[in-house]
A and B are shown apart, each in its own frame.
Chain A
Amino acid sequence: MTRSRIALLVVLFLLCGAASAQSRYAIQNARIVTVSGNPIERGTVLIEDGLVSAVGARVSIPRGTEVIDGRNLSVYPGLFNSNTTIGLTEIGSVAVTSDNQEMGEFMPHLLAFSAFHIESEHIPVARVDGITHILSRPSGGILPGQGALMHMDGWSHEELEINRRGALIMSLPVLLGGGGRRGRRGGGGSYTQAKQRFDEKIVEIKELFERARYYGRSRQDGLTTKMDRQLEALEPALNGEQVVLLEANSHVDIQEAVKFAQSEKLNYVILGGRDAWKIPDFLRENNVRLILGPTQNLPSSEDDHVSQVYRAPGALHAAGIRFAFATGGNSNARTLPFEVGNAVAHGLPYDVALRSITLTPAEFFGVGDKLGSIETGKIANLVVTDGDILEYQTKIHHIFIKGKPISLDSKHTLLYEKYRARPN
């Protein structure tokens, strides 16, 4: 080895050292809202190599750590919006900017991950309001595909990825509509007609699932080598390894969906749950978990309490039901903390509310050991604020995704800076 080569290696080694020193951060003397335990009123979070390496009232900070003075600041786990179309749709009214819907009723093998547009303006816009990871999901048909669990920062899909097969998305035909212009009964007509269509479709779905199970066994036993990507894509869900997001909104549809999921022994979460408040006993007895939609919504009926939608989460919690919150859509994804704040105003305990957009959804998707709280060993997706993260006047000062400080710029802040500087 020549001297110059050794010198080069030394330089490289030093560079690497510098790089690793730069990836170590400490937020010191901050209020740490761990979510998994009680808040630490004055403590330190140490971030190394993308993970939380220490958290507590007394944490020794290694030399070469970049220290953030956390006095008067609070550290929260990054917010998880577990139902969005971010990366799949850009401008709602322009069809060519949308990749969230495909033809066909049974397309479980389609990957939202592959169509995820990592330069979408929606990513930084939601991110600077504290959304650090999301589920981006396809829709349309019975089985529109695989929802992708994604971090909100990275150079490549692989860097953004938490799990490209984060959840199998599923919608049974709608039996009972209501709740605004959407959610009309599938195919129209009477309830009896809708139920008949529903039952026929269930038979079709069960046949497909049966084929998938048979296919799995045949492959395992070496009876077939023929590849079927549609059937293969169903396997993790049918084994109970992968969570199935089962969309249902009316109390009738929720009950039917639960019945179906139980008969297929699925590991499922009900997505939507608009009228879940009508059937708390059923939900508790069946141990049903939910991802609720926005609280800023109109009651589905004139006969409901005018604050019914705001009150539902508090009532469901009181009844012992577990749920997460999500916004759906793309451009409104940043309103997640406010939607949850409104539920707190109507009786949902604050800690439960915060958990429902951090740790609870992480647990639903099987990543509760990696995300959702501030604990040693977890991925350092963190939001540093000067107050309550659910409140409008609170300012976000720092965001970390996978332990990396994130720019607080977005299309919106950049346009703001540009035009506020326009001379009079």
Chain B
Amino acid sequence: MKIKMFLLALFLLAMPVMAEDIVINNANIMTVTNGTIRNASLVIRDGKIAAIGTSVTTPAGARIIDAGGKWLTPGIIDCHSHIGADSINEGATSVSSMTGIEDVLDATDINIYRDLAGGVTTANILHGSANPIGGKNQVVKLRWGKGTEALKFQGAKPGIKFALGENTKRRGMQQRGQPSTGLRYPGSRMGVEDVIRDSFQKAKEYMEGWEAYEKKKAAGARVLPPRKDYQLEALAEILRGERLVHSHSYRADEIAMLIRVADDFGFQIATFQHVLEGYKVANEIAAHGAGASTFSDWWAYKVEAYDAIPHNAAIMTRKGITVSINSDSAEEARHLNQEAAKAMRYGGLDENQALALVTLNAAKQLRIDDRVGSLEVGKDADIVMFNNYPLSVYAVPELVFIDGEIYFSNEIEEQRLAQLAEEKQRLQAIEEDEEGDAQKKKATDVDVVEPAPAQGGQQ
């Protein structure tokens, strides 16, 4: 009997998860690429969008959802997040390109679920900003409850975090009157450039070493291969165009600096992150072809954020830059649709431009726009149903689909709370059972259980 059950379980586990066919009727569909279609239907088949329009054929046996005039948008894509990461900074070295978020993913971080409930379906989990060249990123889909491997966005182009400015030089600045222990280069924006140039010079020489080795080997010479250097491998991937650079930046001068470095070494910056003074060097960013992923309205929390303006996204958009708005915070991610709406308030973008800031543009920046970012036939069925106009302060996500599967709904939340309540009751019962024993000991102290501290931003 037990063996039969075990085999059945194995069989179920081995089966590919086939999402059911779903038709959502009577919805206002904000496609991003094709405007808003009123009172329309969307068909989900095999986890993909199979049809969108005012007259679609309903597949036999499909589950029908009546949206009752509610709104559909693409799943929100957060181009700068730290959810689900057990650690964020390897700041003991100026160049930590050998490290990666992949190795520290924590699929049980509650903030994954919280952001999912806010409509986020894809996120770019980045290393922190402690050093000029940081660790590798991991693009994830917020497939809550399915373990670490299921989080990974298969096929997303690999990337890496760079960082400029105040955060990177903090460890290199000696405090007046303090002993100079624990200092780490760089301590100025000059040094930041130096670290990056020096690293790419080393990476070039490293690549040349390997090329020479391959050439000699091909010619039949007996040579030893160069030593594998994981720090430089990641940089070599950048130079070969195989790894995207996502660079934390604030001030106009440091943005211009990195563009010069990239141009000199012949690679392209995928995104400037934060890029709060991007509006000052929008021409240069556009000419280089980099994307810009910024905050909606954060400013003045440090000197390099003092010239930040909420019109940044609008100016850069009008200069032809692919712009996204990101969260960098598990909290902010819960209302990125509203952060996008701020670009309508400040700078006057239209609703398609605004919604693209948290969907299609972020997908383009991560090179996953063939899969996600808009509601189009053939794309992954990553969809949010809002109860209200999605760019309104009154919009609340009610259903969140990933690959055609519902990952968040009010029912799912009620179930989660019921399970927690049940678990608590069970634990309380155990505690009461043990109370007799406990009373024999001397209870000297009572502690109150505290929730784990929530993860904050890394700005």
Task: List chain A positions with a Cβ less than 8 A from chain B.
Answer: 90-94, 121-122, 125, 176-181, 184-185, 190-193, 296-303, 305-307, 330-332, 334-335, 337-338, 341-342, 344-346, 390-395, 411-413, 415-416, 419-420, 422, 424
Contact = CB atoms under 8 A, between A and B. Distances in A.
B293 interface: no
Interface pairs A-B: 10 shortest CB-CB: A341-B393, A392-B341, A93-B302, A416-B311, A301-B451, A331-B300, A92-B301, A345-B394, A412-B309, A191-B448
Interface of B: 110-111, 113-114, 117, 166, 279-280, 282-283, 297-303, 305-307, 309-311, 315, 318-319, 330-332, 334-335, 338, 341-342, 344-347, 388, 391-396, 413, 417, 420, 424, 445-448, 450-454, 456
B130 to A, nearest CB: 15
A412 B396 contact: no
Contacts of B303: 91, 93-94
A331 B298 contact: yes
Contact of A180 (B280, B298, B347, B454): B454
A75 B331 CA distance: 33
Contacts of B448: 176, 190-191
B393 A390 contact: yes
B320 to A, nearest CB: 9
A298 B331 contact: yes
Nearest to A341: B393
Nearest to B330: A298
Contact of B302 (A91, A296, A305, A338): A91
28 contacts: A91-B303, A92-B301, A93-B166, A121-B306, A125-B299, A177-B450, A179-B454, A180-B453, A181-B456, A192-B445, A296-B331, A298-B334, A307-B396, A341-B394, A342-B335, A342-B338, A344-B394, A391-B394, A392-B391, A392-B392, A392-B393, A393-B345, A411-B309, A415-B307, A415-B309, A416-B309, A420-B279, A420-B311
Contacts of B450: 176-178, 185
Contact of A420 (B305, B318, B417): B318
A345 B114 contact: no
A94 B311 contact: no
A50 B456 CA distance: 44
Contacts of A185: 450
Q: What is the predominant secondary structure among interface residues of chain B facing chain A?
A: loop
Contacts of B305: 91
B301 A91 contact: yes
A90 B282 CA distance: 27
B300 A90 contact: yes
A107 B11 CA distance: 70
Contacts of A334: 297
Given A345-B396, A391-B392, A92 B117 contact: no
A178 B315 contact: no
B395 A345 contact: yes
A344 B388 CA distance: 12
Nearest to A339: B393
A418 B321 CA distance: 19
Nearest to A300: B451
A342 B118 CA distance: 12
B453 A331 contact: no
A353 to B, nearest CB: 10
Contacts of A424: 283, 319
A413 B338 CA distance: 20
Contacts of B413: 305-307
Contact of A303 (B309, B315, B420, B445): B420
Pick the most buried of B393, B396, B450, B456: most chain A CB atoms within 10 A of its CB.
Answer: B393
A337 B341 CA distance: 14
Contacts of A177: 450
Contacts of B330: 298
B389 to A, nearest CB: 9
Given A303-B451, A392-B392, 4 more contacts: A192-B445, A300-B451, A419-B282, A420-B318
A195 B141 CA distance: 44
A342 B393 contact: yes
B168 to A, nearest CB: 14
Contacts of B301: 91-93, 331
A332 B113 CA distance: 26
Contacts of B335: 296, 342
Contacts of B117: 306-307
Contacts of B280: 419, 422
A318 to B, nearest CB: 18
A190 B392 contact: no
B345 A392 contact: yes
